Structure 1
Amino acid sequence: MKKDNGLYWLLFVIIVFIIDIASKFWIINNFSLFESVNFLPFFSITYVRNIGAAFSIFEGQRMMLTAIALIICAVIVRMLYRNNRQQKLENLSLSMILGGALGNLFDRLYHGFVIDFLDVNFGNWHYPTFNIADCAICVGIGLFIFRNYKKTKKTV
């Protein structure tokens, strides 16, 4: 194993994973299914179970979603291994995606569903309920796109 690779960033993956799992553990131990507590006019904590992927797509396709998640995780670990430790923005983005993917994968394997609880709505508009892992994945993807856009602009 090369000494100065992006696997150094696996510590951040573990942190994201632990925060996600701890938040879900707190939810299942303090909320009944579908129980909701409003914190702001547009934000509440609502315990729901998602048997699909984002926005409940592929509902009931547990094995397929598990296989896809495992492949994505393996690809990201490989990318981190090939990266230099100093590629901070790319490694951070990949670590966030991996930590989130592992959090949701753990749920899917352990519970048979993903625990979602962050609930956002504005008036009649309601965003699908999500969790910390989903946030990490989305921010990670955003950073990855930004980093590659920035990198592309430099080479043009």
Structure 2
Amino acid sequence: MSLKKASFIIILILLIDQLSKIYIKTHFALGDRTIVFNWFQIAFVENDGMAWGTKLSDFIPFISEETAKLCLTLFRIIAVFGIGYWLLSSIKKQASKTLIIAVSLIFAGALGNIIDSVFYGVLFNDSYSQVATFLPAEGGYGSLFHGKVVDMLHFPIWKGVMPDWIPFFGGKFFTFFEPVFNVADVAISTGIGILVLFNKKAFNENEPIKEHNAANYEANV
């Protein structure tokens, strides 16, 4: 798979991710919710930490939230450089198409959330009880590298009280699926899922040779 095709995947995901986030940020106040179907809702939340809203300061209590946020953003940037190197190296080595697609999805998703973390604090004012403004005259809600990730996709497919016999969750009200996420998160999860489910195909070094031979056969025919 060529760099051009991988770049197309990355750009497409980034456009969908950022356009959806900018729309939500400029049309919804924090906490607003639109019910599309009973099992699918648009719910505006912001995440200033790691996955599931976890914060680095929860694990390292002696550092401030501002410092923790900066460290997390810098870590994400370093991770994206690492993923980008992995992608370029895979393309150069003519790795399997499955691997390149998966890494492209992970790279695009990680980069999409980094854009929020790095720039959104400067580009928007806060969304508390109001719809945010893009490039507000009074300045943004934070500084560079201290932005919050915009989430909006919510799939509460099932809600109810769990049976008492289920360990830990028995007798408790439970929602599946509770987390709110974004397009970038979907891309990352899909990329990881491909690597897990199609591991042998993704890391099959013989696949490029097979594809090359098939291309030559078709050309000769």
Normalised TM-score (structure 2): 0.62
Q: Give yes or no for contact 1:6–1:87 (8 Å, CA) kept in 2.
A: no
| 1:114 paired residue number | 149
Deviation at 1:66, TM superposition (A): 1.2
Is 1:96 the counterpart of 2:105 in the alignment?
yes
User: Where does the alignment leave 5 or more consecutive residues of structure 2 unmatched?
Assistant: 57-64, 121-146, 160-173, 207-221
Q: Give yes or no for contact 1:107–1:115 (8 Å, CA) kept in 2.
A: yes
Q: Computing the radius of gyration over CA atoms, which structure comes out larger, 1 or 2? A: 2
The CA deviation string for residues 50-84 of structure 1, in whole angstroms up to 9 with x for no partner, is 11111011264322221221122111111122113
Is 1:7 the counterpart of 2:3 in the alignment?
yes
User: Where does the alignment leave 5 or more consecutive residues of structure 1 unmatched?
Assistant: none
Select which of 21, 32, 39 maps to 2:36: 39
Is 1:66 the counterpart of 2:73 in the alignment?
yes
Select which of 82, 89, 113 maps to 2:89: 82
- What's the secondary structure of 1:83's corresponding residue? helix
Deviation at 1:86, TM superposition (A): 5.8
Q: How far, CA to CA, are the matches of 1:131 and 1:54 in structure 2?
A: 12
| Count of matched residue positions in the alignment of Structure 1 and Structure 2 | 151
Q: Which has the higher contact order (CA 8 A, sep 6+)?
A: 1
Q: How far, CA to CA, are the matches of 2:22 and 2:98 in structure 1?
A: 30
Percent identical among aligned pairs is 30
| 1:17 paired residue number | 14
Q: Give yes or no for contact 2:95–2:205 (8 Å, CA) kept in 1.
A: no
Give the structure with the larger helix fraction.
1
Q: How far, CA to CA, are the matches of 2:96 and 2:35 in structure 1?
A: 40
CA RMSD across the alignment: 2.3
Instruction: Give the aligned residue type for 2:24.
Output: I
Deviation at 1:7, TM superposition (A): 3.5
Q: Give yes or no for contact 1:101–1:133 (8 Å, CA) kept in 2.
A: yes
Q: How far, CA to CA, are the matches of 1:6 and 1:77 in structure 2?
A: 14
Normalised TM-score (structure 1): 0.85
Instruction: Give the aligned residue type for 2:184.
Output: A
